Structure formats: C-alpha cells, structure tokens
Amino acid sequence: MTKRSFYPLFRDSWKEAFTKDRIQHAFEKAGIWPLNPEATIGPLRRPIPEIASPRPNEARTPLTCRITRRIHKEYKLEPTSKKLELILRGHEKLAAQDSIHRHMIKGLQQSLQLEKKKRKRGKRLNLIGTEDHGPQFFTPERVQAAISYQAEKEKEEEIEKQAKVDSRARKALEKQEKEVQKQLAKEQRLQKRMQAQSEKLEKAARRKAQLDEKRTSLATRKSSIALNKARTNARTNATAKRKLGESGLGGGSGPVAKRAIATNSRGRPVITPARFT
C-alpha cells in the first residue's frame, strides 16, 4: 500500500463515514450524550456464566473438496432437504470466498502496475541528438540546432511513413498478381482436365467403334463361311442324289438304290449299304 493508492480509498471512506447522523450515534452509543454511564460500565461487569446445554451433533457446512464430494455422494444415495440445504450453503460460501479472492488478486495486480509506473525513470528528451548526462543549458545556437534536428527527424519519419505506404501498396499489388496467376493456373488446370477427359472419351469411342467393326467383320465372315458350307453341302447332296438316281434305273431284280443319310466334316455324303429284296 502506497500513499498514492491510500488517499483515494481514504477519501471515499471519509465521505461515507463522517456524517452528522453517524457522529451523533457514536456519542449516544458511548453514553457521552445523552449521558448514560451504564453503556460504558455495563460491559465491564463480569457476567454470570451459564451452564451450556449439550448440543446435538450438527452437520457442518462443506467447505473443502473432500467434504463436498462426500455430501454429494450421500445426497445421491439418500436425497433429503437437510443435505440439499448444506450443499447450497456450502456453494454460497465458496462462491463468496472466490469473489473475495478475485477482488484481492485484482487489487494486488493494480498495486504492482502502480509500483512499476512509479519506478520508471523519465528519459531525456535529447532534443539536439547528442548524449548529455549533465544539466542542459539551451543557448540560441543550441535552440536553433534543436529546431533543425527536429525538422530532420520529422522529415525522416515522413520518409519512413511513405516507404511503409509504398511497401504496403507493393505488397497489395503483388498479392493481387498472385491471385490472378493462381486463377489463371486454375483455369489452365481445368482446361487441361476437360481436354484430357474429352480425349479419353474420344479414345474410348474409337476403341468401341473398332471393336464393333471387328465384331461385324467377324460375324460377316462367319455368315459367309456358313453360306459357302451350306452351298457346298447342297451341291454335294444334289450330286449324291443324282448318282443314286442313275444307279437305280436298272431291272427290278437288281439291288435297291443306295441312300445318302448324312454328310461328313468335309461335306462328302455318307452312303448306307444297299438292301436286297
């Protein structure tokens, strides 16, 4: 506690405490006015001790973590209004204690900040730009040097500010260019992806067309082969029938004409043996 922090607290307390009603009440309480000696002498007399009656075991308000956990467990097992009242009273006291501690911590922090401010030493203005640890005397020449030094300092500050503005503008322009380049790269990637997808579709279509063409040519070849085979079989059957017909033109006592019942893999007729009557 320092003098600087004591006076604001004392001033508010003084204004609130020293009023006409409080002063009169203090005189009356002490028995000075109106005169009341019993108000001062009465408390000095030794009171007659009273025999204290045995008090039953009363539950204490839980103010520690261990007792609070225990009373919570007991309330869960057997909920009663008395246990609930103990829990609420303990929470109220703990909350009040926490508020007091927070207030004390805040006051200590403010005291530390005031102490730090009080211990800070002021720096020399250094108006002419030279280190001087002794007393400073300003002649007209030193005043003119200080004015010129301050003008140069302001000029340097303006140059630094302008450099910062230019740097900020350059960074904004570079950022904008990067965004444009990023957008262009994104569009190029999208275009390449679409081109690759279209090429893939075209390639798949060409492959499908080639496959369909192969299938068509294969089917045509098969059909032509089957047609040629059928024509060959027809010619072979016709030749066989003609031969059978020519062989059956003789007398009635001759053998029965042979019959071609099928053809082999080369298209030749399979002739069964002749039957005799």
* Shared domain check, 243 and 213: yes
Residues 213 and 242 in one domain: yes
**Residue type at 274 in one-letter notation:** A
Residues 79 and 32 in one domain: no
pLDDT category of residue 252 using cuts at 50, 70 and 90: very low
For the chain, the domain total comes to 3
Q: Give 121's pLDDT tier (boundaries 50, 70, 90).
A: low
What beta strand segments (E) does the chain contain? 260-263, 269-271
Domain that residue 17 falls in? 1-43
In this structure, is residue 4 part of a structural domain? yes
- Which range, 33-42, 158-167, 249-258, has the best average confidence (pLDDT)? 158-167
Number of Cα atoms under 13 Å in the Cβ half of residue 256: 9
Any domain includes 239 = yes
The 10s digit of each residue's pLDDT in 143-178 is 888 888 889 989 999 999 999 999 999 999 999 999
Residues 67 and 30 in one domain: no
Q: Does residue 158 belong to any structural domain of this protein?
A: no
In a domain, residue 27? The reply is yes
Q: Which residues contact 259 (CB under 8 A, 6 or more apart)?
A: 244, 271, 272
pLDDT recorded at residue 258: 53
Residues 62 and 110 in one domain: yes
The pTM for the full model equals 0.32
Domain boundary among 116, 135, 162: 116
Q: Judge whether 267 lies within some domain.
A: no
Q: 116, 136, 153: which is the final residue of a domain?
A: 116
Q: What is the DSSP letter of 43?
A: G
Choosing from 116, 139, 162, the residue where a domain stops is 116
